[in-house]
């Protein structure tokens, strides 16, 4: 875009959106709302002013997109710290360290059985999925064979 000279200057972008002067009631109040013509002298300065603003907003959006991941990481770490504090306070309140050895062993055995139950549950789910997929593929194979050999049913 050419630099403004002494004889030709660009109108400011605010000129295009300003309300007209009243001129003793000769200008209708609803004139800016009604579209009658395109003010071409206002389009280019408005676009130039909008571009600079859009570039600034784009930078802000990109910065916020990056910080979103840091917010999640902070939330997870903060949750772990608070959870640890709550667990520590609970263990002190119920005097978890002062239990008998038999009670401690029973708690460990319960925890171990829960871990094994989770492992066994995952294995069972895998077997069910594998069996279901194999049945589906056998059915597809039988349908394909029937189509190739010209049999229906």
The pLDDT tens digits of the residues spanning 81-128 come to 999 899 888 888 888 778 788 887 887 787 777 777 777 777 877 887
Question: Is the CB of residue 20 less than 8 Å from the CB of residue 33?
Answer: no
Tokens representing 104 are 């401690």
User: pLDDT tens for residues 26-74?
Assistant: 666 666 666 666 666 667 767 777 888 888 889 888 888 878 788 888 8
User: Which distant-in-sequence residues (6+ apart) come within 8 Å of 30 by Cβ?
Assistant: none
Task: Give the per-residue pLDDT at 40.
Answer: 65
Taking the whole predicted model, whether its pTM rises above 0.75 is answered as: no
> How many CB atoms within 10 Å of residue 10?
15
Helices (H), the chain: 14-17, 40-93, 101-148
Taking a C-beta distance cutoff of 8 angstroms, is the pair 15, 42 a contact?
Answer: yes
Per-residue confidence (pLDDT) for residue 141, from 0 to 100: 79
Q: How confident is the model at residue 12 (pLDDT cuts 50, 70, 90)?
A: low
- For residues 93 and 85, what is the distance between their CA atoms, to the nearest angstrom? 12
Q: Is 5 helix (H, G, I), strand (E, B) or coil?
A: coil
Residue 153, pLDDT score: 46
Q: Tell me, what's the pLDDT at 81?
A: 93
Is the pLDDT at 152 greater than 80? The verdict is: no
Res 125: pLDDT: 79
Given a contact cutoff of 8 angstroms between Cβ atoms, the answer to whether 10 and 45 are in contact is yes
| The pLDDT value given to residue 65 | 82
Judge whether 48 and 1 are in contact, CB under 8 Å: yes
Predicted confidence (pLDDT) at residue 78 exceeds the cutoff of 90:
yes
């Amino acid at each position: 875009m050419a630099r403004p000279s002494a004889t030709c200057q660009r109108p400011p972008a605010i000129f295009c959106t300003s309300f007209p002067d009243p001129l003793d009631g000769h200008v209708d109040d609803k004139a800016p709302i009604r579209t009658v013509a395109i003010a071409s002298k206002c389009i280019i300065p408005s676009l130039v002013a909008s571009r600079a603003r859009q570039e600034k907003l784009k930078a802000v959006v990109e910065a916020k997109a990056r910080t979103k991941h840091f917010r999640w990481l902070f939330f997870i770490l903060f949750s772990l710290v608070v959870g640890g504090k709550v667990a520590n306070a609970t263990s002190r309140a119920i005097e978890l360290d002062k239990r008998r050895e038999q009670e401690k062993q029973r708690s460990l055995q319960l925890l171990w059985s829960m871990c094994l139950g989770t492992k066994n549950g995952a294995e069972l789910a895998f077997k069910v999925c594998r069996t279901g997929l194999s049945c589906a593929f056998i059915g597809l194979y039988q349908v394909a064979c029937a189509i190739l050999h010209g049999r229906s049913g």
